[in-house]
Structure 1
Amino acid sequence: PTSKVIRDEIVNYQVIRRLHVTESPTYLHMVISLSFSMQWMQIKFCIKMLMLF
């Protein structure tokens, strides 16, 4: 279950990265807000991923 959650978070992060390229200002603003709130969580997930391998 844990690794599944980590995979889901990575997919979410990749989707957000793609949305960053979107030209819609509303999307961009929403995505920037999301990525700021998720930044530390993503760092922690990256650390977990590194420890798994």
Structure 2
Amino acid sequence: MQKPSTSDIGRGLVAATMILALAACNTIGGAGRDVSATGNAVTSGASAATPR
């Protein structure tokens, strides 16, 4: 079995980095939606609790 070359290792690292970056984008996007939904719920609750 041949030893992997430096360029093969570099390609593998680039591929792994890209996969992790794509996974992080989905996670961050989902977290943003969760934070937005929480903010909307707090705003609605505050509006409902405000005396008129």
Higher relative contact order (CA 8 A, sep 6+): 1
- Larger Rg over CA atoms: 2
The TM-score normalised by the length of structure 1 is 0.40
